[in-house]
Structure 1
Amino acid sequence: MTDAAQDTEYDVVVIGAGPVGENVADRTRAAGLSTAVVESELVGGECSYWACMPSKALLRPVVARADARKVPGLDGAVRGPLDADAVLAYRDDEAAHWKDDGQVAWLEGIGADVHRGRGRLSGVRQVTVTGPDGPDGTEKRLTARHAVAVCTGSRAVVPPLPGADGVRPWTSREATSAHQVPGRLVVVGGGVVGVEMATAWQGLGAQVTMLVRGDRLLPKMEPFAGELVGEALAGAGARVLTGVSASSVRREGENGPVTVELDDGRSLEADEILFATGRAPRTDDLGLDTVGLEPGSWLSVDDSCRVEGSDWLYAVGDVNHRALLTHQGKYQARVAGAAIAARATGTPPPATGRWEAHAATADHAAVPQVVFTDPEAASVGLTLAEAEEAGHRVRAVDYDLASVAGSGLYVKGYRGHARMVVDLDREVLLGVTFVGPGVGELLHSATVAVVGEVPLDRLWHAVPAYPTISEVWLRLLETFRG
């Protein structure tokens, strides 16, 4: 830990030491810029301790068992319940038992100074740190010669339902760090967090009921994604109620059950309730007002992640609301770090340009995402509806993944679907979606095709190995050609 004096000057000050802040620091240090990183919680951030890593550790045994039950010769060996204690212990290991020593050592190893405490803007290029590093409760003042990067991420939103404050609801943090399997769990929300946590806890033995305000799960993906995931959840024993919302909640006593009143007059009882109903920026206590910005707001940025109207302030990752995904935030961090270094050395990046080192173009054109449910859902780029809304002349090309030889070998009774959205004017891909067991590992090939704007005539020569699920690429191209 740094022993810096109360007033210290750096080239760059990063507020937030999650994966995004770590990557900004890595790029600025690689460019030779002195860098301070300020963190109020655990170095490694939401992804390491309450999101990506613990959630996927909970999901992996559930999905692996579901796949194994569909493999002849193996199915009979995996009919019993999962060892929930072993799964939770595995999750604890993947979350490093909520200790950040290793990540602190990594940051210090690249030459960044780590400051424990809450960082707030206190003026142009000024950051005040209060908390554990301040002796006797005093403050430290950090000055940035070139840039301050806000990498504070986002937080889960609990809707203002009557009674919500009194039931101690789960958010994504509690859902990924709980140490007991609830007997009954109500999940409010049908997006990624909702379906992943419903899959995980149902697989670990909870009786799950999902409340989905809209008419389908995963509303930001192609419609068939939510349909297939919803059917599988129902097949596993979960109840998926669409077109319904909670109107109020209450808990009986300190540890009693939660009663959920629905807007259609019905009521449900559960041991825990998870609100997976959206995210808000962590900017409400950041001192934005000291630099003329609105506290609690998302920060609008250009493609280099520099805050609009500023020549020194950057907002990277969830906080800019461009693509709320860890891998996309890390991508933005690499772009922002390169842009900060270029401007610091007097070689500013081009004012415009796509797919440049200083432009996060993929935020607009090629955001990849895998939903780690059973089946998996994986997508990159635009859906058919998004492409049409953007004014592209497009065609959706669909194929049943169960018709590919490799899928039948993967599991018996494979169910899945693939779609590519073709720009008919240029004959390149604008988007691709796969749903089915194991399709997450197919996604990067689709991402390369979308980012590279590879002509379909050239993709024809990318021969998929037989018999793999990736043979779907050949089938999609054959369908397009007719």
Structure 2
Amino acid sequence: MTEALEYDVVVLGAGPVGENVADRVRAAGLSAAVVESELVGGECSYWACMPSKALLRPVIARSDARKVPGLRGSVASPLDVPAVLAHRDEYVSHWKDDGQVRWLEGIGAHLYRGHGRLYGTRKVSVTSPEGEHHVLTARHAVAVCTGSRAVVPDLPGIADARPWTSREATSAQEVPGRLVVVGGGVVGVEMATAWQAFGAQVTVLVRGDGLLPKMEPFAGELVAEALKEAGASVRTNVSVSEVVRDGGTGPVTVVLDDGGRIEADEILFATGRAPRTDDIGLDTIGMDPGSWLPVDDSCRVAGSDWLYAVGDVNHRVLLTHQGKYQARIAGAAIAARAAKVPLLETDPWGAHAATADRAAVPQVVFTDPEAASAGLTLAEAEAAGHRVRAVDYDLGGVAGAGLYADGYRGRARMVVDLDREVLLGVTFVGPGVGELIHSATIAIAGEVPIGRLWHAVPAYPTISEVWLRLLEAYRDQ
């Protein structure tokens, strides 16, 4: 039995991005259907942002407390790992989505559970787990918000090795005795930080020269130094050529390209993401299944007047908060086009342009120390042709940092556009710096002149006083 239904907007995927698209078009008075094959709330809520930070928070809090006189003796004992894992389970609602479903229904969106596929122009077919079939027609737009999945390399022995991806790393119920982490990006370093603190012996294997390659080089250097001090092994310029787990049980042997071998109980591959577009019907509209979907600044797919791709799937920025930002932009654009607004605000920083994806992306890596950045690195700014100056400052020299932790180690950098005297990028590394990065994001997105930033006085004694020190260093160079 096939039921045909019509909505103004059909959203494929009920993660944070799809939820936000639905919320914005509903707020504009449009009807919306949302299709989800797994849990409403998506990767972020159950296998990424939320569980990983629930695991990392006690690790970082204990580390900070150990650097404060009068506290360090009180936190000398190991973490209560069962309590940490139980809190993580509570934070992800034990992998049940009842609360998120209630929210979606509360905004007036219609949820369809099952596998959704494009079915030609403005149509989506949905097959439910019970075998029911619906064909949803969108009057105005279909938004693909299906996200991305972890990529596991096609190596000899990989199938029998049963490797972890980010999903297993954030949802595991037991601490492995030995864990090999392949990859030095955000997932790799965050999970290495967490599981090392829980008692695993962690080895990080990186094909390149260092950790966090998309940030300023000193970020990866400081994080690697801290991981080694915590007892982890960090090996660079090395690749995995084979993994062996006999019969799919017992320890795994990791064979390296240099002939070396490492024995472990689990292996985590944190080596990249691929779009979840392989089975969503792209072939029915003349596109290649499994491809990233190129879009304009309003997140409309190139060459289409009805198809939008929002979040990871468009490959602009693979971060939840940027996907939600894109969703707000896309929702506004869909509503404006539905209302036949003659001219959308697509100029830089306009209401219908995701300009921040190129100019002011913030990110926090919740390691110990934290690494936080917004905008461009020095190398990216130079490659883009800007005439720039990098200004560095030792965060340990800031009064508030010394109060935050004895022996505070960290570093700050701002990248200044010398022609316009505005900031293009800022990076902080050190304990507690994640809460500093929004000020940098505002300065970059607002294109606040250096002369005006002089009048944004940081409170004393806080770590944010580093802003004054950076500006003084820029003035005195």
TM-score > 0.5, shorter chain as reference: yes
**Correspondent of 2:178 among 176, 184, 198:** 184
1:109 aligns to what? 106
Separation (CA, whole Å) in 1 of partners of 2:214 and 2:274: 18
Instruction: Give a deviation string over 1:166-187, Cα, whole Å, max 9, x none.
Output: 1100000000000000000000
Q: Does 1:93 align with 2:90?
A: yes
Q: SS of the counterpart of 1:269? A: strand
Aligned residue identity for 2:203: T
| 1:3-402 aligned within 5 A | 6-132=3-129, 137-350=131-344, 352-402=346-396
Instruction: Give a deviation string over 1:15-38, Cα, whole Å, max 9, x none.
Output: 000000000000000000010000
Contact 2:160 2:247 in 1 (8 A): no
Contact 1:375 1:436 in 2 (8 A): yes
Tell me how far 1:351 sits from its aligned partner.
Answer: 7.0
Tell me how far 1:352 sits from its aligned partner.
Answer: 4.0
Tell me how far 1:255 sits from its aligned partner.
Answer: 2.6
Q: Identity of aligned pairs, percent? A: 79
Q: Which runs of 5+ in 1 are unaligned?
A: none
Contact 2:162 2:248 in 1 (8 A): no
Contact 1:228 1:375 in 2 (8 A): yes
Q: Does 1:406 align with 2:397?
A: no
Instruction: Give a deviation string over 1:112-166, Cα, whole Å, max 9, x none.
Output: 000000110010000000123x6xx241100000000000000000011111111
**Distance 1:204-1:20 versus aligned 2 partners, 3 A rule:** same
Tell me how far 1:264 sits from its aligned partner.
Answer: 1.1
Tell me how far 1:348 sits from its aligned partner.
Answer: 4.5
Q: SS of the counterpart of 1:261? A: strand
Separation (CA, whole Å) in 1 of partners of 2:165 and 2:343: 40
Separation (CA, whole Å) in 1 of partners of 2:92 and 2:277: 25
**Distance 1:230-1:348 versus aligned 2 partners, 3 A rule:** farther
**Correspondent of 1:423 among 393, 417, 425:** 417
Q: SS of the counterpart of 1:12? A: strand
Contact 1:185 1:273 in 2 (8 A): yes
Contact 1:429 1:450 in 2 (8 A): yes
Aligned residue identity for 1:166: D
- Compute the TM-score of the two structures, normalised by the length of structure 1: 0.98
Separation (CA, whole Å) in 2 of partners of 1:292 and 1:340: 22
Contact 2:2 2:132 in 1 (8 A): no
Contact 2:336 2:344 in 1 (8 A): no
Q: SS of the counterpart of 1:119? A: strand
Q: SS of the counterpart of 1:114? A: strand
Contact 1:349 1:358 in 2 (8 A): no
Q: Does 1:471 align with 2:465?
A: yes
Aligned residue identity for 1:77: S
Contact 1:155 1:279 in 2 (8 A): yes
Contact 1:339 1:348 in 2 (8 A): no
Separation (CA, whole Å) in 1 of partners of 2:343 and 2:162: 48
**Distance 1:438-1:348 versus aligned 2 partners, 3 A rule:** farther
Aligned residue identity for 2:363: Q
Separation (CA, whole Å) in 2 of partners of 1:349 and 1:78: 60
Contact 2:365 2:371 in 1 (8 A): yes
**Distance 1:222-1:36 versus aligned 2 partners, 3 A rule:** same
Contact 1:282 1:319 in 2 (8 A): yes
Aligned residue identity for 1:57: A
Aligned residue identity for 1:283: T
Separation (CA, whole Å) in 1 of partners of 2:406 and 2:341: 57
Aligned residue identity for 2:341: T
Aligned residue identity for 2:397: S
Tell me how far 1:350 sits from its aligned partner.
Answer: 3.0
Aligned residue identity for 1:90: H
Q: SS of the counterpart of 1:473? A: helix
Aligned residue identity for 1:336: A
Separation (CA, whole Å) in 2 of partners of 1:315 and 1:389: 28
Q: Which runs of 5+ in 2 are unaligned?
A: none
Number of equivalent positions: 476
Aligned residue identity for 1:25: A
Instruction: Give a deviation string over 1:181-207, Cα, whole Å, max 9, x none.
Output: 000000000000000000000011100
Divergent runs of 4+, >6 A = none
Aligned residue identity for 1:363: D
Contact 2:160 2:245 in 1 (8 A): yes
Separation (CA, whole Å) in 2 of partners of 1:461 and 1:61: 37
